[in-house]
Amino acid sequence: MNRHAPPSGLCGSLAAPAARIAGALFVAILGLSAPASAEPQHALAMHGAPLYPADFKHFRYADPKAPKGGHMTRAVTGGFDSLNPLIIKGRPVWEVRTHVYESLLARSRDEPFTLYGLIAESVETPPDRSWVEFTLNPKARFSDGEPVEVDDVAFSFELLRDRGRPNHRSYYSKVARIERPGERRIRFVFASAGDRELPLIIALMPVLPKHLIDPENFEKTTLEPPVGSGPYRVAAVDPGTKIVFRRNPDYWGADLPVKRGFDNFDEIRYEYYRDENTQFEAFKKGLIDVIVDADPTRWATGYDFPAARDGRVVREEFATKTPKGMTGFVFNIRRPVFADIRVRKALAMLFDFEWVNNTHFFNAYRRTGSYFEGSTLSALGRPASDRERQLLRPFPDAVAPEVMEGRYAPMATDGSGRDRKPLRAAMALLSAAGYALTDGRLVNGGTNEPFSFEFLSKTREQERLALAYKRTLAQIGIEMSIRTVDSAQYQQRVSTFDFDMVLNRWPASLSPGNEQSFRWSMEAADIDGSYNYAGAKEPAIDAMIAALLAAEDAEGFVDAVRALDRVLISGHYVVPLYHLPGQRVARWARIGHPDETSLYGYQFETWWAGDQPSQ
């Protein structure tokens, strides 16, 4: 194997001025067209032109003068028994993917979906995106000093395609063959053209060291520290309790534009806690440096302790310009109790958001109704465009009229906790589905079986929310039992769809793509470990995902995503819950961060220990 590395670089001379960045950001968000080219480029965008030019110095939301050194300790709820996040077995440390492994290109968080050079110094793809080619940066090194070569990229692809997580197997199976046009060049040729996202999916593939991995043992859980090309190494492991990442002083990519101002801590520690309350107590004592606090009650009342009063602990809210995603109680429609869409629609009406928000959450939340809430991709409040209607025409029953016409909104109540309106509306649907209220219990008229199901919970917070929902369901005779299990049992049951109802959150970006197949496609419904927890098997969903992947311009893409949103809303696969308007983070004041934030909000990889001297 040839391991030489001729000198080269990926550096720019001048950062674009603020006006140029602002204008390019406008272009990127709107997806205005850019000339297609099959020539090597410094970046690859899903639609439109990259925000940053070839000579950019650093991302806007990273500070290249950030001090280096010190440590940051963060908290994780649950436990782990594996350091391999790329297989389905075990409870992995997901942060290995962030700190140890790298991909061919790196994502900009200032754009919907654009990637810039990392292990690959350039990328090339034709207008139809039937293939993608990468030229590797000759400086790229694994943390053991060995160069990253084309053999490693090809090995990683084949390993993850054959033995990786289901999403990797699904995505990478679309590659027909690999070609090697040159010593540092590798080309992925796709089985068919038209999937505009697939080149970017390949570009984000983690690159693993061929010389250190035995494919036969790859699918086994392991606590052996992995080797990657990233900025950190695993320094210490306390199984299930703690993991420590230490910065590699010889990290090869520190001066790349995509890395300037990143990876500033000498050590990053993750402490694992059983629940969020224990985690917060550790934060108050200074054992944890930063927490993302999504608990409105704690945010409103929990920070009356000395360090928060005297300014040693700082609370901040970060605005984002991305979709809020969907958090909801998920119906497993594989179970007969939820097979009838009228039943699911009725149960969705019975979550009393206004009462819950006021009683439990200090009115901090906003109601979620769309899978792309709060963005131009959402179908809420918008009648379908002509193009949407054309996409949906082969599936006349897939979208409810009120959703098609933009009139749909989740059921609202008067907030009293005693509003009879949703109860009457839900009972009408349940009656039509064959249920009747008998002696205070809702009973199936055909089987005489009572309406009952189990909510599977993994935290006390989920259990508390389920109890509030149970209160309303009981008013019309529905019995919901609540079972709280440990994280290992929860993961096993959810991965095999062994539940009636769970709470899940599907995050969303401005560039939804192939991940939607893993969440909602008919194929994914039968794959253990997929995120199609609901078991949706709707042809219209598959068709809309195919349309958004094939869209060649921003207008067509937005129409396809909105059409997908309409189908998902109409399927009533979840009881929609709520979202915070922004991100809430508490930190000890010794931890600093850049003044600028990305389109996606905070980025911990750009933060630093504030008691360190400036570079």
Reported as a single tens digit per residue, the pLDDT across 209-256 is 999 999 999 999 999 999 999 999 999 999 999 999 999 999 999 999
Whether residue 254 is found in the same domain as residue 345: no
567 and 594 in a single domain? The answer is no
3-state class (DSSP) for residue 107 = strand
The C-alpha atoms of residue 121 and residue 115 are separated, in whole angstroms, by: 11
Q: DSSP assignment, residue 260? A: T
Q: Greater confidence, 9 or 550? A: 550
pLDDT over 80 at 363, yes or no = yes
Distance from C-alpha of 257 to C-alpha of 42, rounded to nearest angstrom: 11
- On whether residue 154 sits in a domain, the answer given is yes
Q: How far apart are alpha carbons 44 and 105 in whole angstroms?
A: 9
- Tell me what the mean pLDDT of segment 1-22 comes to: 32
- Poorest-pLDDT segment among 26-35, 75-84, 122-131, 276-285: 26-35
CB 381 within 8 A of CB 374: no
| Res. 612 pLDDT band, cuts 50 70 90 | low
Does residue 208 form part of some domain?
A: yes
23 has a pLDDT exceeding 60: no
Check whether residue 436 and residue 574 sit in a common domain: yes
Clarify whether residues 411 and 556 are in a common domain: yes
Residue-level pLDDT at 554? 85
Residues 300 and 337 in one domain: no
Identify whether residues 128 and 143 lie together within a single domain: yes
Q: Does residue 596 sit in the same domain as residue 571?
A: no
Average pLDDT score, the chain: 91
Residue 610 confidence (pLDDT): 85
Partners of 455 in the β-ladder: 482, 501
CA angle (442, 443, 446) in 5-degree steps: 155
Question: Over 60: is that where the pLDDT of 358 sits?
Answer: yes
Pairing of strands 441-444, 479-484: unpaired
511 found inside a domain:
yes
Residue 147 placed within a domain: yes
Task: Return the higher-pLDDT residue of 167 and 350.
Answer: 350
What is the rounded distance in angstroms from the CA atom of residue 344 to the CA atom of residue 340? 7
The pLDDT score that the predictor gives to residue 294 is: 87
pLDDT at 6 over 50: no
Residue listed under structure tokens 């040693």? 312
Statement: residue 11 has pLDDT above 90: no
Q: Residue 450: which of 467, 433, 438 has the closest Cα?
A: 438
Dihedral (Cα; 354, 358, 361, 367), 10-degree rounding: 20
Domain containing 152 equals 36-48+79-217
Statement to judge: residues 293 and 422 lie in one domain: no
Q: What local confidence, expressed as pLDDT, does residue 487 receive?
A: 85
Residue 340 within any structural domain of the chain: yes
Contact of 172 with 155, CB cutoff 8 Å: no
Residue 488 has pLDDT above 90, yes or no: no
pLDDT tens for each residue of 531-572: 999 999 999 999 999 999 888 888 999 999 999 999 999 999
Is residue 612 assigned to a domain?
no
What pLDDT score does 275 carry? 87
- Please indicate whether residue 185 or residue 461 has the higher confidence score (pLDDT): 185
pLDDT at residue 170 in the model? 87
Better pLDDT: 35 or 418: 418
Burial of residue 178 (CB within 10 Å: 0-12, 13-18, 19+) is middle
pLDDT band at 15 (very low <50, low <70, confident <90, very high): very low
Percent of the chain with pLDDT over 70: 93
Give 46-79 pLDDT, tens digit per residue: 888 999 999 999 999 999 999 999 999 999 998 9
- Indicate if 284 and 424 belong to the same structural domain: no
Domain count, the chain: 3
Which CA distances in Å does 605 have to 109, 233, 263, 319, 388? 12, 15, 6, 18, 39
* Structural contact between residues 111 and 45, judged by C-beta atoms closer than 8 angstroms: yes
Q: Are residues 585 and 567 part of one domain?
A: no
The span from the CA of 386 to the CA of 384, in Å, is 7
Average pLDDT over residues 159-175: 93
Tell me what pLDDT residue 592 has: 97
Identify whether residues 179 and 236 lie together within a single domain: no
Q: Give residue 611's pLDDT band: very low, low, confident or very high (50, 70, 90).
A: low
> Under DSSP, is residue 77 helix (H, G, I), strand (E, B) or coil?
strand
The residue among 217, 245, 273 that closes a domain is 217
Contact 66, 247 (CB under 8 A): no
Q: Give pLDDT, residue 194.
A: 80
Percent of the chain clearing pLDDT 90 (strictly above): 83
292 and 346 in a common domain = no
Q: Which residues of 350-365 are buried (b: 16+ CB within 10 A; e: fewer)?
A: bbbbbbbbeeebeebb
Inside any domain, residue 500: yes
Give the model confidence (pLDDT) of 373-421 as tens digits. 999 999 999 999 999 999 999 999 999 999 999 999 999 999 999 999 9
Whether the CA torsion 332, 334, 337, 341 is positive or negative: it is positive
First to last CA, the chain: 39
User: What is the pLDDT at residue 271?
Assistant: 97
CATH number, domain containing residue 315:
3.40.190.10
Would you state the pLDDT for residue 327? Answer: 97
Is 350 inside a domain boundary?
yes
Tokens of 181: 């046009």
- Read off the pLDDT band of 166 (50, 70, 90): confident
Q: Which of 192, 217, 242 is the last residue of a domain?
A: 217
Q: For residue 553, give the CATH number of its domain.
A: 3.10.105.10
Q: What's the pLDDT at 5? A: 32
535: left (phi over 0), alpha (psi -120 to 50) or beta: left
